[in-house]
Structures are given as C-alpha cells and as structure tokens.
Amino acid sequence: MTDVARRANVSVSTVSRVLSGKQTVAPKTRQRVMKAVEALGYQRNQLAQSLRLGRSQTVGFIVGDIEQTVYPLLSKYLQAELEETGSNLLLFNTSHRTDRLKSMLSHARQLRLSAVLIATSDELDTEILCRFRDDETEYSCPIVVLGQDLSAHGICSVWHDDEAGSYAATRHMIATGCKRIGYIGRIHGSAIGAMRSKGYMRAIREAFGEVEPDRIWDASYRYPAGYSTLLKSLEKGQRLDAVMAGSDEIALGVMAAAIDSGMIIPQDLSLVGFGDVEWGAHVRPSLSTLSSDFPRMARVVSEIIAKRHAGDMTPSAVPIPRKLILRRSVRQSALQAYLRDAGRIEQTAADNPAPSRYIEQEQDNAD
C-alpha cells in the first residue's frame, strides 16, 4: 500500500479509503490511486483487512429458490454494484426451507459477513430475523430483505410495489373489455404472491363488486404450473377471457396451454405476467408484463449497507414502482380509454400514448 501511495502521490490513509470504497475521496484522486493500483498490480490482503474491520468484505445473498429467473438476474446486478465498493457476493439457496435459513444465518456470523441480503417470496419469520439483527455478541451484521416490506419490524426492506402493479394490470384488462379475469400464482405461504393477488382482487371488486373465488388459482412460479392450471380451469368449464399471472414463467405456461387448446391470444385470452424476463419480448405473441428494476434495487442495497457501516441504524424502507409494459398478449382496443382514466396519463396523439411511469407500450420486432 505504501508503494501505491508513493506512486499516486497521496497518503497511505487515502489509498486505504479508496480501496475500502469510502466516498470521502475526490474523484480525481480516486482515479489516480486506482491507476497506481493497476500499474503495480497491487492486491489487498483481505484477511488483514477483515481482522482490522472485524468483518469480511463479503456480502451473503440468501435466496428462496435459485431456479426462479428473478434471483440470477438480481444477483448479477448486486454483484456488479458491490464490486464497486470492494465487496464480494456469496450466494446461499434455502429451497424454501426455514431450517436452511437459520443455518445460513449462523454461517453468516461464522464467516463474519459484511451484510446479509435475503430475497424470497416466502413469508419470513421476523422473530428469526430480528434475533439475528439484534445479536451483537460478536459484531453487528446488517440485514436487508429484498422483495417484501418488513420495515415495521425494524428490518431494512427494498421491494417492488407488487400490489399496485397487479392492480394497474388488472384495471387495464378490464378497460379493454375483459370481464372473466382469473389470477394464477402462489398465494398461501408467499408474501409476494399475497400482495400480487391483493392488487388483482382490489381491481376486480372496484369493477364488478365481488371476486369469484373459483377464478383464483394458487400455483407455483413455474411454467408447468401455469400450463396445468389453465387446462384445469377449462376442464371445469371456465371460459376466462384474461389471466393475471403471478410471474412471467406462469404466464408462458398459460400461453402454451391456451394455444394448445385452440385459443387465440389476445382475442380469446388476454395475458399479463410479472418480472419482464428477457424472453418475454421475443415469444409470439409477445408477453405483456410488469417491469422489474434490479439495477435500482442493487444501488439502493449498496447505499443501505454503506449507511449501516457508517453507523446510521435507521431502518430503510424503499418501495420501487413497477411499470405495465404492454405488448401483444393483451387486447389493445380500449387502450385510449384507460389512458384517459382519471387523467393519469397524457396522450401526444390520438393513437399514440406518451410514455409514463404507469404504462410503456412496446411493438414487436419484425418477424
């Protein structure tokens, strides 16, 4: 470190602050230090740094189910953001098991992790999380929950506003003339699923006065679940004209089952998913969905960890809005009526809605 300081013409303490990700160094000075680090091939002694700080530079990321598309994508952005502060990301998978969550939290202390992030659709035991948060017998380890709001329990939380998202999507399908709208997604045991179904039910009650219980299907976030559930609804004699799906994976399964059953999307069945996975824009018909903003979520998480390490123990609660991305899986005939609803979205031309925080409209690429 002394050689780096000499080459960059700064103090050793300045080099230390730069390499520790501190924000109190001028950008030009930081750039000079990093050039010296690169030129000398300097590598920090992470063990020595961990002993000095009382914690490692590794952040634990505990997910409920690594096979779900959302978690690899989120981990990608988290790792990129944390690398900017000199931290690494260590992934744990609970497979929806509370005993594994407890075990991993125990490992977090043994590894002296810099922070613990938890992302799962499962209903979390707040007693377990609060006990981990409050146990400072060895050192204080910040904990941040992603995907659901536990700030009422004093736990830092960053989540997408799923209830508002499903409400907006269901309202839109109602505005296009859909009346027999079903919901397919995990509900029981899923905090995220409960919020998504809640937004759907609120929109249905406002439009029709009551919710039909047999149009709500509790299903896992998987392609086969969406496929089999729509077939079951058809076997029961249901003739849904729209489906609010709890994930894009479920929506793809629903789409396949509808097409295999001779239905035409969106003429016979409108469909909206959750998450905006990459393939959604490239299936035919392209899938309407509710957006995810993982880059922003990762930035917020990094800021929360930095604040915690700086001594700011105020619980953070950061909701991130979802946008309704309209593609070809939803009827478009009454779009203008929806856009005019309550004056929420302006229009620049009779047939061209302006972009907004509520709705984005995409066109398919030429086949």
2-11, 23-32, 228-237, 343-352: segment of lowest average pLDDT = 343-352
As a whole number of angstroms, the distance between CA 76 and CA 173 comes to 33
**pLDDT above 90: residue 357:** no
Q: Which of 228, 218, 235 is nearest to 252 (CA)?
A: 228
**pLDDT above 70: residue 349:** no
For the domain 53-161+294-320, what is the CATH superfamily, name and number? Response regulator (3.40.50.2300)
| Mean pLDDT of all residues in 313-339 | 81
Q: Are 149 and 207 in contact (CB under 8 A)?
A: no
| Mean pLDDT of all residues in 282-300 | 95
Higher pLDDT, 207 or 52: 207
| Mean pLDDT of all residues in 327-333 | 86
**pLDDT above 60: residue 138:** no
106-110, 201-205, 286-290, 297-301: segment of lowest average pLDDT = 106-110
pLDDT computed for residue 51 by the predictor: 38
What proportion of the chain, given as a percentage, has pLDDT over 90? Answer: 60
For the domain 164-291+323-361, what is the CATH superfamily, name and number? Response regulator (3.40.50.2300)
Q: Which residues, listed in sequence order, are joined to residue 159 by a DSSP beta bridge?
A: 319
Location of structure tokens 């998450």: 275
149-163, 303-317, 318-332: segment of lowest average pLDDT = 303-317
As a whole number of angstroms, the distance between CA 206 and CA 218 comes to 22
May I ask the CATH architecture of the domain 2-44?
Orthogonal Bundle (1.10)
How many residues appear in the chain? 367
79 φ, ψ to 5°? -65, -45
Q: Are 87 and 114 in contact (CB under 8 A)?
A: yes
| Mean pLDDT of all residues in 43-57 | 53
pLDDT computed for residue 35 by the predictor: 87
Other C-beta atoms lying within 10 Å of the C-beta of residue 72: 12
pLDDT computed for residue 126 by the predictor: 92
pLDDT computed for residue 324 by the predictor: 95
Examine domains 53-161+294-320 and 164-291+323-361 and report if their fold is the same.
yes
**pLDDT above 90: residue 196:** yes
| Mean pLDDT of all residues in 155-164 | 96
The mean predicted confidence, pLDDT, of the chain is 85
Of the pLDDT bands very low, low, confident and very high (cuts 50, 70, 90), residue 366 is very low
Location of structure tokens 């998504």: 196
Model pLDDT for residues 101-126, shown as the tens digit of each residue: 999 998 888 888 989 999 999 999 99
Burial readout 189-203 (b: 16 or more C-beta within 10 A, e: otherwise): ebbbbbbbbebbbbb
Every domain of the chain and the residues it spans? 2-44, 53-161+294-320, 164-291+323-361
